[in-house]
Chain A
Amino acid sequence: MSLKTKLLLLVTISITASVGAAAWLIETRAHEAFRQIEEERTATLVSQFRREFEHEGDEITRGVETIAGSDQMLRTTSELANGAEYANYVNEAATYATTQRLDFLDLIAPDGTIISSAHWPARFGYKQRWFLDRPGPLPEHAFLRHVETPQGSVLAMLCLRPVHIHDLNFYLIGGRKLDAVLQALSPPEGLRVSIYSAPEQGPGELLGPANEDLSSSKVMALIQRVLDQHNESSTIVDLGPGLPQEEILHALPLPGYSDRVPAVLLVGNSLERELMLEKRIRNISLVIAGVAVFIGVIVSGIVTARVSRPIRNLAQAVGEIGQGNWDVKIETSGKDEIGKLAVAFNQMTEELIGQRERLVQTERVAAWRELARRLAHELKNPLFPLQITVENLLRARENTPEEFDEIFRESTSTLLAEIANLKTIIGRFSDFSKMPAPQIQAVDLNEMVRSVTQLFQVQLNREPARILTELQLGDVPQVSGDPVLLRRVVENLVLNAIDAMPKGGTLTFRTFMNEKFAVFELADTGAGLTPEECGRLFTPYYTTKQHGTGLGLAIVQSVISDHHGKISVTSKKDQGTTFHIELPICSSANTMTGETTV
């Protein structure tokens, strides 16, 4: 994966993560804000309900107190206290209730007997003692309680007032249905209010508009929880299939006459708008995130391209240098780290080029010195016999002619031999300087190895330094090369190996495939080389032999290099040396090109 791709991926991930985090944060904050608004709306409505509740309670209290304090009621209770028949007053409560717009009104005797009931006239004569049996004073304010009616138990807000006359207490219990409080409320859009009436006996009932959907088991569980714990609670209910039908439902206990909770106020806050807004915000966030990511990717692509281009150029330059192109230069732009790196790189390449030139110059000088030393050495060996021979000839003139002739013949013979030797030395140097260009063709490497082995068989088997040959030839295709030159390479290596094993040994020939190269290895079991010797082995005119020219392996390396191959040597002291040659495989396509391009 390229640096640009990595950078692009990294920047894209960073942008996506950042935008996603921002979108999540926005949605979370929006959700919290909506919830806060919803809670405020609910609290407002609950507050309004409580005001209406108190207002209604005050009105009921005022109405009942008005009845209790009226002259007519005082007259009625006075007559009753004086023994008047209850039957004569059976319809009294209805009249009073009408004047004060009360839904319920009971006129009760001191013993709890219902004298008159506005909402259930037929209930006269029955006892109603729940307030008499209750310890403590009578409640001063209106309270919630269920009232028995012909239609069943009805949740009502009641007020209880005694009418004291002639040391007797008659009682008035008046009130209204709680529906009136609900109807007086004006909940804002999306809010609704219901009351769950929980009578002491029988099933509960939901009061208020559109309460059919509040009878689910989840809502009932919420109501039961509030009834049991006397604490408000809330839940989210699903009002129907599909969104947005969710509603957050707050349930608040409404205190009653006793410790028991007679009713639960249900405030339903529709989440429809909130969910729609949240959905819209989410969609907008997604769109913004998508656009941001898109733009971010584009921009980051451009930026990473700009940022990575100098690095890529640098990498290309390094690659070219690795391939030997030391003249490469990097364009330096900017003063940032990349620019400084480019400048440093250019300085480094310039320095390397200078060093290389100096090294080349040094090596050239050294080579010339070595050449001169070699030449001097090579030429000095034949020259010494020549000098001796010539001095012998000069001294031989003092001998007899016969002796002179004999010495002359021997001397001329020696001179000719040494001159021939000098020619040979000069010819070798001449050959090294005139290495011919390889004639590339398909070469059967195994066959060539067998042929060379066959050629040296007599020399190898010479006693007492007999050398065993071992052929480990693999299945290798034909290689691309000059058969003559390659044969000289192999012969040269074999001769070196023979020289390295003066006491005999084993010479192993191996051929095998290594990826895309055919490999030839020649291993001897000689004394081996030191690492330093290995490093300088292919240097021209470097030799470890007593009479070597130091050109053999140099020629070998030159030939292999001309074949676009590689040669290397590995050696271990007292274990032997192995030459490793890789040669390109012959193909109909590159045979000719290799030939022509070399």
Chain B
Amino acid sequence: MKRLLSRLSAISSLLLLVAGAYASSRPRYGGVVHVLLHDRVMSIDPLIEDDHPAARDRMAALAFETLTAIDSEGRVQPKLASSWRSDQLKRSWQFRLRLVSFFDGTVLTAADVAASLAKSNPAWKYSAPDRQTVVIDTPTPVQHMPEMLALMRYSIIKRQTDSSGTAILLGTGPYKLSQWQAGDRAQFTVNDDYWGGRAFPDSIEFQMGMSLREQLLDRQLGPNSAAEIGIDQIRALEQTNQYVALSKPSDLLAVAFLQGDSPSRTGRSPVDARVREALSLTINRTAINNVLLQRRGTPASGLLPQWLTGYEFMFPATTDLQRARDIRTDAAAYVVIKPIMLAYDSADPLLKLVAERIAVDAREAGIVVQPYAEPHVNSKAARASINADAVLLRLPMQSVDPSIALASRADDLGLSDSVPAVLAASRPEDLFEDERKLLENHRVIPVAHLPQALWLNNTVHNWQQLATGAWQLDQLWVEGAH
């Protein structure tokens, strides 16, 4: 009997342990997720050009949804649209809508979708054959319309104004924007009526504009759930067994030469193409990747990474100082080579290091590059107002679809003329050719592809970071919630 009792006691203890373990890994409702963002977002509206669109889109994705979505495997998934189809020319696309309600309780209709998309892309034509069907007609073929509509700029938003004239953006997402302090703080509370089911956390709070060092200190001291971190901090965090989520090397680090006249660039002539080519040949991308990027990225020779296209290796990216010197000497016979003013985002210390390294490398070929910090360089509007010859940019990847990603990057780099051709490309060879054309005049010098890094508290579960660096927080939950 005594032996039986001891066995029962052991079994019951084991059951309790198993039950406890199960309880700790089981999603729970409630709790507040605190996220520290490096960048300051001034508006959550995806259609307003922001200096930090990636951070903006991460927050916007909580409240606004697109017709389609890209899953962690890079596949297109239904979102607000339950199904879709197109004609053979890929110029007319029909989307069937899901039965969804906006935050104000009104049902999402095809007219709402058409009105929202018309603001995103006025060049297309929209029609609503019925309440739940939207038809999009494009002037040129769009091979990857569902992938494109997964971009946050095509979010379905009902735009209203209150009595005071303030714009109200209504979405259908799992969270509602409850507090907004532009550039400083944002709070999203859970949408209990979300069509996909209520999210686990009660709210998600974003603290914006934290420097990486401040974030590190705050993370160690405060009750934060996640924080964006720099690549140079990964090693130290990993050495202390902290969890760091890394995306694929999706962001593009590139030198973009500014073209054309603007009020701020009066009197500055564009940098000669030969000098641009010489500069490209001086950059030691391997050293930058190995040392400054701590081998977390990859040297870039194309606008899109090798893992996405498979053809990036075909673009040359070797360092050839002798040839660079020859080209520079050749150029000096025709033009006066002035120092190249290279601007970089003053809030990103990594860009500062890379810019200085580019200057060091260029110096070996007799090209003077003068890096300097600018507070706003990421948006096209901001770049139009700075007095620099070139800008060192970190461009996020918008989509895992190569065509969409390349078109987005071309658009971000101010090469909008190439976008229609890229969107029309149906074969990888066409896309390669489009990218080659984008690179051939060296107006953009790819330097590296680098990942996005995110520190996660061990109390946070199911935080999914996609290959592009975007977050998927459908199943997110936090420990300690009631």
**Chain A interface (Cβ < 8 Å from any Cβ of B):** 85-88, 90-91, 120-126, 150
Q: Is the CB of B359 within 8 A of A150?
A: yes
The verdict on B274 contacting chain A, using a C-beta distance below 8 Å, is no
Task: Verify if B356 is at the interface (C-beta below 8 Å from A).
Answer: yes
Q: Do the beta carbons of A122 and B359 come within 8 Å of each other?
A: yes
CB distance A121 to B295 under 8 Å? no
Specify the chain A residue showing the minimal Cβ separation from B293: A87
- Which parts of B346-365 form the interface with A (CB within 8 Å)? 353-360
Q: A88-B235, A150-B371 are in contact. Are A122 and B357 (CB under 8 A)?
A: yes
User: Is A125 within 8 A of B371, CB to CB?
Assistant: no
Contact residues of B: prevailing secondary structure? helix
Most B-side CB within 10 Å, residue of A120, A121, A122, A126: A122
Report which residue of B284, B291, B353, B354 has the largest number of chain A beta carbons within 10 angstroms of its beta carbon. Answer: B291
Q: How far is the CA of A150 from the CA of B292 in the complex (A)?
A: 17
A-B contact pairs, 15 of them (CB 8 A): A87-B291, A87-B295, A88-B294, A120-B356, A120-B360, A122-B353, A122-B356, A122-B359, A122-B360, A123-B357, A124-B357, A125-B291, A126-B360, A150-B356, A150-B359
- A90-B371 in contact given A122-B357, A125-B284, A150-B359 (Cβ < 8 Å): no
Contact digits for B154-183, partner A, Cβ 8 Å, 1 yes 0 no: 000000000000000000000000000000
Alpha-carbon distance between A410 and B349 when the two chains are bound, in angstroms: 177
Residues on the B chain within 8 Å of A87, using CB = 290-291, 294-295
- Cβ of B381 < 8 Å from any Cβ of A? no
A86 touches B359 (CB 8 A): no
Q: What is the count of residue pairs linking A and B with beta-carbon distances less than 8 angstroms?
A: 38
Within the complex, what minimum Cβ distance (angstroms) separates A175 from chain B?
Answer: 20
For the complex, give the distance between the alpha carbons of A90 and B350 in Å.
Answer: 13
In the complex, chain B residues 284-314 whose Cβ is within 8 Å of any chain A Cβ: 284, 287, 290-292, 294-295
Q: Identify whether the interface residues of A are mostly helix, strand, loop, or mixed.
A: loop
Whole-angstrom CA separation of A88 from B355 in the bound complex: 19
Which residues of A are found within 8 Å of B359, using beta-carbon distances?
Answer: 122, 150
Tell yes or no: B374 within 8 A of A by CB.
Answer: no
* Contacts A88-B235, A91-B232, A150-B371; A121 near B356 (Cβ below 8 A): yes
Return chain B residues, CB-CB under 8 Å to A90.
291-292
Measured between C-beta atoms, what is the minimum distance from A199 to chain B in Å? Answer: 15
In Å, the complex CA distance between A87 and B286 comes to 11
Q: Enumerate chain A residues within 8 angstroms of B353, measured Cβ to Cβ.
A: 121-122
Output the least CB separation between B103 and chain A (Å).
46
Q: Which B residues are in CB contact (< 8 Å) with A124?
A: 287, 291, 357
- A125 & B294 in contact (Cβ 8 Å cutoff): no
Give Cα A87–Cα B284 distance, bound, in whole angstroms.
14
Which residue of chain B is the closest to A85 with respect to CB atoms?
A: B290
User: A388 vs B354: C-alpha distance in the bound complex, in angstroms?
Assistant: 172
Q: Which residues of A contact B284 (CB under 8 A)?
A: 125
A577 to B125, alpha carbons, bound, how many Å? 161
In Å, the complex CA distance between A124 and B232 comes to: 15
Nearest first, the 5 A-B pairs at minimum CB distance are A122-B356, A122-B357, A87-B291, A90-B291, A87-B290
Bound form: Cα–Cα A86–B292 in Å? 11
Least CB distance, B158 to chain A, in whole angstroms: 49
A382 to B232, CA, bound (A): 170
A124 to B284, CA, bound (A): 11
Q: Produce 1/0 per residue, B355-388, CB < 8 A to A.
A: 1111110000000000100000000000000000
Question: CB-nearest residue of chain A relative to B235?
Answer: A88
B287: chain A residues at CB < 8 Å are 124-125
- Residues from chain B with a CB closer than 8 A to the CB of A150 are 356, 359-360, 371
A123: chain B residues within 8 A (beta carbon): 357, 360
Asked if residues A86 and B356 are in contact (CB atoms below 8 Å), the reply is: no
Bound together, the chains give a CA A366 to CA B354 distance in angstroms of 143
CA distance A87 to B291 in the complex (A): 4
- Rounded to whole angstroms, the CA-CA distance of A90 and B287 in the bound complex is 11
Measured CB to CB, the nearest residue on chain A to B286 is A125
* A87 CA / B232 CA spacing, docked (Å): 10
How far, in whole Å, are A122 and B290 apart by their CA atoms in the complex?
A: 12
Q: For residue A91, which residues in chain B have a CB less than 8 angstroms away from its CB? A: 232
Chain B residues with CB under 8 Å of A86's CB are: 291
What residue in chain A is nearest B354 (Cβ atoms)?
A122
- Give Cα A121 to B284, complex, Å: 15
Bound form: Cα–Cα A86–B356 in Å: 18
Residue of B nearest to A89 (CB): B291
Known: A121-B353, A124-B357. 10 other contacts (CB 8 A): A85-B295, A87-B291, A87-B294, A90-B291, A90-B292, A122-B354, A122-B355, A122-B359, A123-B360, A125-B284
Report B162 CB to chain A, min CB distance, Å. 50
Which B230-254 residues have C-beta < 8 A from chain A? 232, 235
Tell me the complex Cα distance, A120–B353, Å.
Answer: 9
A203 to B: closest C-beta gap in Å = 15
Distance in Å: Cβ of A421 to nearest Cβ of chain B: 144
